[in-house]
Amino acid sequence: MTKKKDIGNLNNKEFGVNLDPQNNLHLEEDSEKGQQAYYKGKKMDYLDYMSEVGDRISKGKNGKGTSGIGGFSGFGKGTLKKPYEVKE
């Protein structure tokens, strides 16, 4: 698979924007599937990508670092532990 051009433009030198200093987030245009989002080369949900970009903008405005992705593991089977579940 050849690497496609990142159209996310999270590090815009002209405007002094640096939301992804480690270049881990990528948004690519796919003529068949539409925009595809990746984190460290692994496909991620487009809405998760947009949420992460929004979080980084908010963190940047508040003077916090913008390089790390949040620790939220998502919804779905096995991702949320209930306090009443007992491991045996």
Assess whether pLDDT exceeds 90 at residue 6. no
Assess whether pLDDT exceeds 90 at residue 80. no
pTM: 0.65
Average pLDDT over residues 15-26: 85
Which is more confidently placed, 11 or 83? Answer: 11
What SS3 class is residue 39?
strand
Please count the other Cβ atoms lying within 10 Å of the Cβ belonging to residue 27: 19
Which is more confidently placed, 15 or 43? Answer: 43
CB 49 within 8 A of CB 25: yes
**Letter for the amino acid at 35?**
Q
Residues 6+ apart with CB under 8 A from 27: 6, 7, 8, 35, 36, 37, 38, 49
Q: Using one digit for the tens of pLDDT, what is the confidence trace for 23-76?
A: 899 999 888 888 899 999 999 999 999 998 888 888 877 777 666 665 544 555
Helix or strand holding residue 31 (H, E): none
